[in-house]
Amino acid sequence: MPQYLLNRGNFRGPWAGLPVAWTANDEFDRATFRNDVIRCCRAGIPGVYTGGTTGEFYAVEFEEFQQITETVVEAAHECGTPAMIGVTATCTRSAVRRAQFAAAAGADAIQVALPFWMTVPDSQIVPFFRDVAAAAPELAFSVYETTRAKRVLTIAEHAAIREAVPQYVMVKSNAGTVGCSVEGCRALHEFVNVFVGEHLWPELGPAGAAGCCSACVYWNPRVILGAWESVEQQDWESLAQVGRKLQAQSKFLHETFGSREFTDTAYDRLGSRATGFLQTSLNCRSPYPGVQPEDVELLRQWYRDHFPEMLDLPPAG
Q: Which CATH superfamily is domain 13-234 in?
A: Aldolase class I (3.20.20.70)
Tell me the C-alpha distance between 173 and 185, whole Å.
Answer: 9
For residue 169, is pLDDT > 90? yes
- In this prediction the pTM is 0.96
Beta bridge partners of residue 193, listed in sequence order: 170
pLDDT in tens, 236-275: 999 999 999 999 999 999 999 999 999 999 999 999 999 9
Tell me the C-alpha distance between 115 and 95, whole Å.
Answer: 9
% of the chain exceeding 90 in pLDDT: 97
Other residues' Cβ atoms within 10 Å of the Cβ of residue 302: 17
Helices (H), the chain: 30-42, 62-78, 92-104, 122-134, 155-164, 182-188, 201-204, 221-232, 236-257, 264-275, 293-306
Mapped onto helix, strand or coil, the DSSP state of residue 142 is strand
For residue 317, is pLDDT > 60? no
Domain positions in the chain: 13-234
For residue 214, is pLDDT > 70? yes
Cβ atoms of 37 and 47 within 8 Å: the answer is no
Tell me the C-alpha distance between 119 and 82, whole Å.
Answer: 32
Mapped onto helix, strand or coil, the DSSP state of residue 5 is coil
The predicted model gives 41-70 an average pLDDT of 97
